[in-house]
Amino acid sequence: MAHTGTGFFDRKGHFFKTARDATVSDLAALLGQIGEGESLAPGIAYMLLERRSEIERLFAEHDRMLEEEAVMKAARAGAEPADNVAHLPARPAH
């Protein structure tokens, strides 16, 4: 007897039985060919999906560090004279 089912498609239109498999396919395509011969991209894509929360946490930390770095650079740029000339203190008269 016929029955219905649910399927998932990756960005290329390939059918997969699970959302995980479709997402791994998309990630592997994004990574491209890795290594000689058979690509390591599908295995790496699977690991990326499995460690998603840790990876997202790392990217959040990275974004915060970039913001801090931008603030420090702006502070340094604001502290420098506009003409980029360092003014030395006056020497005492002898």
Category of 41 on φ-ψ map: left (φ > 0), alpha (ψ -120 to 50) or beta: alpha
Name the DSSP class of 16: E
Please tell me the predicted confidence (pLDDT) of residue 90. Answer: 75
CB contact at 8 A, 27 and 48: yes
Which among 6, 38, 42 has a CA at the least distance from the CA of 24?
Answer: 42
Q: How many Å apart are CA 79 and CA 63, to the nearest integer?
A: 25
Bridge partner residues of 8 (DSSP) = 16
Residue-wise pLDDT tens for the chain (94 aa)?
A: 888 889 999 999 999 999 999 999 999 999 999 998 999 999 999 999 999 999 999 999 999 999 999 999 998 888 765 566 666 777 777 6
